[in-house]
Chain A
């Protein structure tokens, strides 16, 4: 089974821009993979940021954007803030009806 890959950790300066990626161990990500993105802080339930490749969930600021770039899905955070420090997960529909999460990216804002 294909593995969904994410950077284990990244850091960004306050006010900076950072891009997190989501790929496949074999093959390419496309919009047909319906990539979605989730944010989770320790001890909390996940929060949906992006679904269907690039649609922001209700209440998500437009600092968060997403796309498919090359053979990966990408989440870009512009104007990073302290409370963006979280774990970020992507979800890909690799096999119809059985999506797979990536291992997550721990984002540090410092």
Chain B
């Protein structure tokens, strides 16, 4: 069974940093691009960042470019999102998903709250 499980969310002050992780199982992780998608409270889905299957290619939405860094460790089947200079409008549930243009196998999400 394909599974992805996000972790690392929590409360962080504005301007702070946080690192999210996503562990994957049930599929050959190294063969698939991966993405992070977020959803602010009461709002719609927002694609945030994606990474190619080797990790060589990375992509970001304009809203996080320069502040967030996506990476992966194919030996550990793990996807990572490093977030810095966090703002109140980064508050959201962050989902990990398989793919970039065709998202599949979503996790249950991890909540990031940016507040003083």
Main secondary structure of the interface of A (DSSP, over half): strand
B101 contacts A104, C-beta separation under 8 Å: no
Which applies to chain B's interface (DSSP): helix, strand, loop or mixed? Answer: loop
Pairs A–B under 8 Å by Cβ, sample size 25: A38-B45, A45-B106, A46-B37, A46-B45, A46-B95, A46-B97, A46-B103, A48-B102, A48-B104, A51-B99, A57-B104, A87-B44, A89-B44, A91-B45, A91-B103, A93-B101, A97-B57, A97-B100, A98-B47, A100-B61, A101-B44, A101-B45, A101-B46, A103-B44, A104-B44
Q: Among residues 66 to 102 in chain B, which have CB atoms less than 8 Å away from a CB atom of chain A?
A: 95, 97, 99-102
How many A-B contacts if CB must be within 8 Å? 64
Q: Are B45 and A104 in contact (CB under 8 A)?
A: yes
Which bracket fits the contact residues of B?
20 to 34
Docked pose: A30 CA to B95 CA in angstroms: 27
